[in-house]
Structure 1
Amino acid sequence: MAKTKKYTGDEVLNLVGKYMSESDTEKVREAYNWASDLHKEQLRKSGEPYIIHPIQVAGILAEIKMDTATVISGYLHDVVEDTPATLEDVEAKFGKTIADIIDGVTKISKIRYKNSQEQLAENHRKLLLAMSKDIRVIIVKLADRLHNMRTLGALREDKQRRIASETLDIYAPLADRLGISTIKWELEDLSLSYLNPEKYHSIASRMNMKREERIRYVQTAVSEIESVVRELELQNVDVYGRPKHIYSIYRKMADKHKAFEEIYDLSAVRVLTNTIPDTYAVLGAIHSKWMPLPGRFKDYIALPKANGYQSLHTTVIGPGGRPLEVQIRTHTMHEVAEFGVAAHWAYKKNKGSGKEVRTEDQTQQTLNVIQGILELQEDAKNAEDFMDGVQGDLFSDRVYAFTPKGDVFELAKGAGPLDMAFSIHTNVGIKTVGAKINGRIVPLDYKIKTGDIIEIITSSTAKPSRDWLDLVSTRRARNKIKQYFKQLDRDDNVEAGRELLIRNLRDTGFDSTELLSTENLIKTAETLHYHAYDDMLAAIGYGDVAAPGVANKLTEGIREAQQVAETDELQRELLEEGHEIKRDETALTQRQKVTADDIVIAGVDNLLVRLGRCCTPVPGDEVKGYITKGRGISVHRIGCPNIRAAQIQGQRLVDVQWEDENGLKPNYDADLTVHGENRNGLLNDVLRSVNGRTRFVNSVNGHVTKNGTAQVSLSIGVKNSVQLNSIMDSLNTLPAVYDVERAFH
């Protein structure tokens, strides 16, 4: 990773002096002096004076030309949490705006929570909701996190991994959604260096080994592009090469199972122009010179990304017949690509300068993110539920679809027509009766793909169906549907809940007439903590609780009686084969030990048990058994294809569990498949890693797949799933390994 600049206080003041007025620069100096005085007795974990951290945060903010309030907040972001200063003190000296930004950044450190995960989620929720009031809150936090990641080496290894994981899950995606790629890429690379240092340094060293060759290739490409651009007689065009980031190469290797040598686009060429017409002129000239690769052209100018990013991307067969990625954008688009929403403040300064200014588009992208956060907050049950929604709806992969009029809608990957309808407007969603994709009628469970033209068909008399809750994938749509049913008359919800319950009971083979007696409903409602059974039925009606869960409680006694009858039938069948089954009449769920393979089965003794060779379960795995003809009970891991096949064929499944999940024997067979880079020494590395954690290696074999990667199959002996997971984690850290998985045969 490139060496990052370390600022001094004077250097930050020089930076802001280049774009701030003298009075604003003086306010920044005042904040620096106050922060220095407040933090003067404090040291960081590394042993250096604490004030260095606020200086670096302010420097990062000054580099992206943030406004006066934001840079001051960078200096003061820790004073409320770590010094005697209060928010009132900040407001008195620097005003309410800066006090509000600092309040948004400050952690909730004085409230006790049940666990650290809950506190972390609450901190993130407070931060994101503060961001919804002032986007500068998250920009300060991103600068704070970036410098913390740059100095993470001073902490314990477990803290390094926890903070790096949090950064990769929350802060890098946030930087991406706000378009601040200059921070996003560095956060991702730094996180990888702590979460998987071997892979990080392996990629970095290999990129360094090819550095001279790569530089020569890029210089040749840049020279040839400059030549064709000169012929266009355009003004103010910059052409330069840029290396790909380590994390992006790592993701490409892992996601596509590619070896490092198969990653050709380690570098790309970027062309910056004055105007949008110039970008298309350059694109045409490049395509005239080199053959473009099919399917590798993307026009993010006509169809910007959700974070405001605009650029033309193309991959061509460049010099020497090698693939070359070229990005073409205007100078202003480049500023947005690097600094995202942060560029908004810089553009306000540049109005009237003759430069391309797109503050409205950028502000709208920011408002889209903020609106999404506020909608998720409305219906979140708690902080963790809120953060699940943020990561699922706001940070997930996106698809881009069009209305027939050409308007662009951005949706989470997996969204369907109903999700889009509710994203247009709640009333559109509620009145939806169907959808056309590219002119053809599609079902409402259709998954939207990027480029689809979607026409939502509505009717003034239409009403939502409760089945829609199973058809939508976004929190917004699901919450709007639930709100609709909550707003209906209570009597309608109670009746709808009763109908859903009757339908579920009927579909599962039960007679609802006796089951839905007042006595049964009261008893079930009390069990599920409702004050009255009508409340329970209403909750089912508006989608707050699932009908199958209530139905299971209602039928619990009947299903237990059926299990007793099934056990009696099983006993008759197996006694014919000479086995004996014992059952405690007063405690059906009692589990009695079976001598074979440490497995216990409900109500069964002296029965042949064998572990499935197709999935090699070990103690600690979730397991299920099914009755075979003449061979007792076959035990398999949950998810094994043979369990699914047994269900389809109507074979009787039985609950089984391990007598001791730690394992009563030292050697249970387990099969693994390792995918990795095809290079010398891979097999030795795999064996060395495995031999360091188990003495039982039954077999090893490897081969090269059609796409050129290596695949190693292992059969090993372990005591339990804890030991097996340790072995898999160890293999995953090897620099040439892409992933490790349990095998199914």
Structure 2
Amino acid sequence: MLRQYELVERVKDYDPDADEALLNRAYVYTVQKHGSQKRASGDPYFSHPVEVAGLMTDLKLDQQTIITALLHDTVEDTLATIDDIEENFGTEVARLVDGVTKLSKIEAMPENERAAENLRKFLLAMSEDLRVLLVKLADRLHNMRTLHHIKKPEKRRRIARETMDIYAPLAERVGMYEYMREMQLLAFEQLEPEAYHTITKRLDQLRQSDAGQVDRIALDIKQALSGAGLDTEIWGREKHPYSIWRKMAERHVSFEQVTDIMAFRVLTDSVEDCYRALGVLHQTFQFVPGRFKDYISTPKNNGYRSLHTTLFYDQSMRVEVQIRTREMHRTNGFGLAAHWAYKQGGQVDGQVGWLRDLIEIVEQSHDAEELMENTKLAIYQDRIFAFTPKGSLFQLPKGSTAVDFAFAVHTDLGAQTVGAKINGRHMPLRTPLGNGDVVEIIKGKNAEPQLSWLGFVVTGKARSAIRRAVRQKERSEIAEIGTKLFEEITDRLPAKVGKKAIRQAVERLGMSDVDDFMYAIGSAKLSDREVMEAVVPGSTADLPSDPPQERAISIKGLTPGVGFDLGECCHPVPGDRIVGLRRPHESVEVHTIDCLELANGVDADWVDLSWGERSQGAVGRLNVVLYNRPGTLAEMAGAFARNAANVMHLELLQRDDPFHTYAVDLEVQDLAHLTRILSALRATDAVAQADRV
């Protein structure tokens, strides 16, 4: 662990103007606050924030970042508060610490929701100041280095999986490849221990049997380049076990069949020398077709620049060679940190513009599962390059389609997409894009995202935007039904209802606007009585109250006092032939005589039942297929209203242009009433099909 004076000296070495007293105070503060707390290793807890601060000094970051690293766990794990941090270390440090700190209120959430809320807060803070990300990545890296001290295997695997899915890709997306590789290696050891140890053992055997081979290959490359008058630095290494394992999994090959286990780096003085070196190597050694990538002319989103090629050495061995300038090498290892982005006020620059997509996903995600899924998609590593017809470049995950491309260009363009040309040819929207494709999006003025697109889009931004648009459309459709039902309800009031009365009803119910009110009616969240009372207070005083305990449906054939439940599978209504299933200590289940669930009643006593005198409030379920055109929902609602049927529940089951399929629960009097409603629906031009469930 770094001692106090060692940490301060590290900072002063690259930043002589750093506030030594403030750094000392932060060191002492974290030691005092964490006190006697211990880590799983048995070390004092404060050793962790001190080591994280040490990682930040390796990147030569400013004193605010170093202090944030020292304090990043104090609010979460001690009695310190953000106000305490601000009072002692200033507003900027308090804001950064808050960005890294987990919300205390989420500790009571389920595990997946807690992880999603942590990620949501972290991404939002990161978008405001990227130093939050740098501290978080260093925090996670040090935790991974000490992960083996945690006794519970399931906890180690959970942390390793989160690291592999979220933090290693985030490190890659900001160009911090050294962090990414170490995180992947440590996580791989926990997630696939057998594969890790097998590959590590094979690499050890390879080193012993081919002693000095890496040096020989590096020397041959050096001599070829020196002969052409190029001054270069060259060194080689084996790829780490996780990288090899991925190649084995992707190519479905054994360790022996992975041919490009060795990788070499060539450092030059200039960009021109990079291309000259590439030409010399391709003339000296045979190169592998399809394995050349030019990240100098087309850098990655994270700013990574280099030439990549794969060569045949001794006619059989494949070796990967990366050619870059010394300046590129300096920035490639630590990406964003090497650029000192915080000097521009922590703003998101072009190299990390993908953060805007992440923030849009955070704002639009509907629940924890959706947020986690879309975030993983947004930071996925394998990328392709595609171009607009005017030459603008967009990087997308491998497997992306024209719809993904459209949303990457702009959310509005994605929403209006109706077709696409790929390399000048009309192609289906689900066609996967290849590297270098030129994509022209054809848009329609009245077009809108389709639910079926979720079956083939792969980017988090596209999935998030499509789901949001679909939810908004469903909401507006249900609100449209609510408006129709509202008119039918208010027709029973003694006076005409104006806009002022509706606004007042919205206020009485504590809703935000009229749309919320109509949505609540359409989704059966408000009863007729509640609507009437909200619009005209006191209007329901003379109406008979609903019996608090008495059921509106009566059944003959049951012992007095025995409870019953109407089957959710067949929704029996008065007029249906019914039978009961009776099991010990349970209510009697009432089913229609032809219900398929009766086949599961072999362990129950069958009871012959019939309907009693009361038959109000029976609920029948319909499947209604509507044509997808304006006004069809209103026509369906009108058919319900004309036949005095109260909508209890409405759900969109399937959206498959040109049809929308709904499940509708209706309160009806009896079978004859339900049959009349079905007949009315089938006679309506808006309805393609209507059936009872």
The TM-score normalised by the length of structure 2 is 0.66
Q: Which residue of 1 aligns with 2:256?
A: 261
Residue 116 (structure 2) pairs with residue 121 (structure 1): yes
Tell me: CA distance 1:479–1:51, structure 2 relative to 1, closer, same or farther (3 Å). closer
Judge conservation of contact 1:344–1:363 (CA < 8 Å) in 2. no
Judge conservation of contact 2:75–2:81 (CA < 8 Å) in 1. yes
SS of the residue corresponding to residue 590 of structure 1 reads helix
Q: Which residue of 2 aligns with 1:435?
A: 420
1:167 paired residue among 163, 176, 191: 163
Give me the whole-angstrom Cα distance separating, in 2, the residues matched to 1:378 and 1:360: 21
Judge conservation of contact 1:525–1:532 (CA < 8 Å) in 2. no
Q: Which amino acid aligns with 1:285?
A: V
Give me the whole-angstrom Cα distance separating, in 1, the residues matched to 2:224 and 2:595: 84
2:288 paired residue among 293, 310, 332: 293
Q: Cα offset for 1:425?
A: 2.5
Instruction: State the Cα deviation string for residues 167-219 of structure 1 (Å, max 9, x = none).
Output: 11221121122221111111111112122222212211221222245552211
Q: Cα offset for 1:477?
A: 3.7
1:312 paired residue among 307, 319, 323: 307
Instruction: State the Cα deviation string for residues 251-307 of structure 1 (Å, max 9, x = none).
Output: 222232322222232221101122211111111111111000111111122222232
Q: Which residue of 1 aligns with 2:351?
A: 365
Q: Which amino acid aligns with 2:122?
A: L
Q: Which amino acid aligns with 1:32?
A: Y
Deviates more, 1:225-234 or 1:128-137: 225-234
Q: Which residue of 1 aligns with 2:441?
A: 456
SS of the residue corresponding to residue 210 of structure 1 reads helix
Deviates more, 1:211-220 or 1:461-470: 461-470
Q: Which residue of 1 aligns with 2:624?
A: none
Give me the whole-angstrom Cα distance separating, in 2, the residues matched to 1:256 and 1:483: 37
Judge conservation of contact 2:373–2:460 (CA < 8 Å) in 1. no
Give me the whole-angstrom Cα distance separating, in 1, the residues matched to 2:315 and 2:63: 50
Q: Which residue of 2 aligns with 1:35?
A: 30
Instruction: State the Cα deviation string for residues 369-400 of structure 1 (Å, max 9, x = none).
Output: 32012110221123332222101233364322
Q: Which residue of 1 aligns with 2:364?
A: 379
Max radius of gyration: which structure? 2
Instruction: State the Cα deviation string for residues 500-543 of structure 1 (Å, max 9, x = none).
Output: xxxxxxxxxxxxxxxxxxxxxxxx9989655599xxxxxxxxxx
Q: Which residue of 2 aligns with 1:203?
A: 199
Instruction: State the Cα deviation string for residues 627-655 of structure 1 (Å, max 9, x = none).
Output: xxxxxxxxxxxxxxxxxxxxxxxxxxxxx
Give me the whole-angstrom Cα distance separating, in 2, the residues matched to 1:16 and 1:288: 47
SS of the residue corresponding to residue 46 of structure 1 reads coil
SS of the residue corresponding to residue 242 of structure 2 reads helix
What does 1:490-569 correspond to in 2, within 5 Å? 529=524, 531=526
Give me the whole-angstrom Cα distance separating, in 1, the residues matched to 2:569 and 2:48: 63
2:40 paired residue among 38, 42, 45: 45
What does 1:108-257 correspond to in 2, within 5 Å? 108-157=103-152, 158-214=154-210, 216-235=212-231, 237-257=232-252
Give me the whole-angstrom Cα distance separating, in 1, the residues matched to 2:12 and 2:289: 48
Judge conservation of contact 1:372–1:394 (CA < 8 Å) in 2. no
Give me the whole-angstrom Cα distance separating, in 2, the residues matched to 1:446 and 1:559: 43
Give me the whole-angstrom Cα distance separating, in 1, the residues matched to 2:8 and 2:45: 19
Q: Which residue of 1 aligns with 2:492?
A: none
Q: Cα offset for 1:496?
A: 11
Tell me: CA distance 1:472–1:117, structure 2 relative to 1, closer, same or farther (3 Å). closer
SS of the residue corresponding to residue 589 of structure 1 reads helix
Judge conservation of contact 2:376–2:460 (CA < 8 Å) in 1. no
Tell me: CA distance 1:497–1:466, structure 2 relative to 1, closer, same or farther (3 Å). farther
Judge conservation of contact 1:132–1:370 (CA < 8 Å) in 2. yes
Give me the whole-angstrom Cα distance separating, in 1, the residues matched to 2:305 and 2:368: 34
Give me the whole-angstrom Cα distance separating, in 1, the residues matched to 2:476 and 2:253: 59
Tell me: CA distance 1:531–1:198, structure 2 relative to 1, closer, same or farther (3 Å). same
Give me the whole-angstrom Cα distance separating, in 2, the residues matched to 1:376 and 1:436: 27
What does 1:331-342 correspond to in 2, within 5 Å? 331-342=326-337
1:414 paired residue among 399, 421, 427: 399
Instruction: State the Cα deviation string for residues 224-265 of structure 1 (Å, max 9, x = none).
Output: 222222234345x32111221111112222232322222232
2:377 paired residue among 372, 377, 392: 392
Q: Cα offset for 1:40?
A: 3.6
Tell me: CA distance 1:485–1:110, structure 2 relative to 1, closer, same or farther (3 Å). closer
1:589 paired residue among 578, 597, 617: 597
Q: Which amino acid aligns with 1:437?
A: I
Identity level (%): 42
Q: Cα offset for 1:452?
A: 0.7
SS of the residue corresponding to residue 457 of structure 1 reads strand
Runs of 5+ unmatched residues, structure 2: 484-518, 529-567, 578-590, 607-693
Q: Which residue of 2 aligns with 1:66?
A: 61
Instruction: State the Cα deviation string for residues 22-46 of structure 1 (Å, max 9, x = none).
Output: 4345543332232223334322222
Give me the whole-angstrom Cα distance separating, in 1, the residues matched to 2:122 and 2:408: 25
Q: Which residue of 1 aligns with 2:15?
A: 20
Q: Cα offset for 1:21?
A: 1.9
Q: Which residue of 2 aligns with 1:322?
A: 317
Judge conservation of contact 1:290–1:316 (CA < 8 Å) in 2. yes
Instruction: State the Cα deviation string for residues 667-704 of structure 1 (Å, max 9, x = none).
Output: xxxxxxxxxxxxxxxxxxxxxxxxxxxxxxxxxxxxxx
Give me the whole-angstrom Cα distance separating, in 1, the residues matched to 2:5 and 2:325: 33
Q: Which residue of 1 aligns with 2:386?
A: 401
Tell me: CA distance 1:495–1:418, structure 2 relative to 1, closer, same or farther (3 Å). farther
Give me the whole-angstrom Cα distance separating, in 2, the residues matched to 1:214 and 1:25: 51
Q: Which residue of 2 aligns with 1:88?
A: 83
Judge conservation of contact 1:172–1:188 (CA < 8 Å) in 2. yes
SS of the residue corresponding to residue 317 of structure 1 reads strand
Give me the whole-angstrom Cα distance separating, in 2, the residues matched to 1:481 and 1:202: 43
Give me the whole-angstrom Cα distance separating, in 2, the residues matched to 1:348 and 1:378: 27
Judge conservation of contact 2:415–2:448 (CA < 8 Å) in 1. yes
Give me the whole-angstrom Cα distance separating, in 2, the residues matched to 1:185 and 1:378: 30
Give me the whole-angstrom Cα distance separating, in 1, the residues matched to 2:116 and 2:459: 20
Give me the whole-angstrom Cα distance separating, in 1, the residues matched to 2:476 and 2:80: 56
1:103 paired residue among 68, 91, 98: 98
Q: Which amino acid aligns with 2:151?
A: R
SS of the residue corresponding to residue 596 of structure 2 reads coil
CA RMSD of aligned residues (A): 3.7
Q: Which residue of 2 aligns with 1:626?
A: none
Give me the whole-angstrom Cα distance separating, in 2, the residues matched to 1:361 and 1:100: 15
SS of the residue corresponding to residue 437 of structure 2 reads coil
Q: Which residue of 2 aligns with 1:56?
A: 51
Q: Cα offset for 1:128?
A: 1.7
Tell me: CA distance 1:36–1:293, structure 2 relative to 1, closer, same or farther (3 Å). same
Tell me: CA distance 1:23–1:17, structure 2 relative to 1, closer, same or farther (3 Å). closer
Judge conservation of contact 1:221–1:319 (CA < 8 Å) in 2. no
Judge conservation of contact 1:244–1:266 (CA < 8 Å) in 2. yes
Q: Which amino acid aligns with 1:45?
A: A
Tell me: CA distance 1:221–1:119, structure 2 relative to 1, closer, same or farther (3 Å). same
Q: Which amino acid aligns with 2:57?
A: A
Judge conservation of contact 1:436–1:454 (CA < 8 Å) in 2. yes
Count of residues in correspondence between the two structures: 513
SS of the residue corresponding to residue 349 of structure 2 reads helix
Judge conservation of contact 1:432–1:462 (CA < 8 Å) in 2. no
Give me the whole-angstrom Cα distance separating, in 2, the residues matched to 1:496 and 1:285: 72
Tell me: CA distance 1:12–1:264, structure 2 relative to 1, closer, same or farther (3 Å). farther
